[in-house]
Structure 1
Amino acid sequence: MDTLQRLEQVIAERWNASPDSSYVASLNAKGIEKIAQKLGEEAVETVIASLSGGREDVVAESADLLFHLLVLLQARRIKLDEVMAELDRRDGVSGIDEKASRSS
C-alpha cells in the first residue's frame, strides 16, 4: 500500500468521527461545498508557491492539495483506484488526442 492509499484509508476511517476531534470529520460536517472550496484554495496556494515560493513551499502546498483532493474524492465516494485506472487508461495517449476525445 502506498502513501496515497494509506491516506485514503485514514480519511475514510476519520470521515464520521467527531468534528471536534478530526479535521477530516470537520470538513465532512461542513459539506461538499466547503470541501470543494478548500480544494480550490489549496490549488491556488500551490500555483502561487510554484510562481513565487521556494521548492519546500511547492512541496508543502502540493501535499495539502493531494490531501484535500482525497477528502473531496471521499465526499463523492470515488476511490483513488478509479482515478488511477483513468490515468492508466490515458497512459500512452497524446494529451492533445485525449482532450479532443472528451470534447466530441
Structure 2
Amino acid sequence: MEKMNVSDQSSPIVVKATSKLSSRGQVVIPVEIRKTLGLTEGDDLTFMVNQDGEIKVEVTKKYRLSQLIGILKTNQPFRPVEEIRNEAYRTMGAKELKDEEEN
C-alpha cells in the first residue's frame, strides 16, 4: 500500500471543491478531488484534526493483485497461471494418495 499525505504539500491550493455532510455523517468527495488524488473504491482516508481545527487527510491506496504483476524483478521466466494451478493440483493429489496409503 502506498501512502499519499496531502497535508505535506506546502504549495498553494491546487483544487477546491465543495461537498455537503449528509444526515448520516457521510460526505461525497467531489470528482475533481478524487481525480487529483487518484482515489478509487477501497482506498483508505485518514482524517487528522489539529488544535486550530485544520483537517489533514492521508490517503492509503489499495491495489489489486493484478495491478502488482511485474513489480518484482525475477530471473525466472513467467509461468502461466494454469500451469501453476495444475502443478498445485498434482501436488495436492499426490499428498492425498500418500495420506490414504498411510491410513
Q: TM-score, normalised by structure 2?
A: 0.27
Bigger radius of gyration, 1 or 2?
Answer: 2
**More helix per residue:** 1
Q: TM-score, normalised by structure 1?
A: 0.27
**More strand per residue:** 2
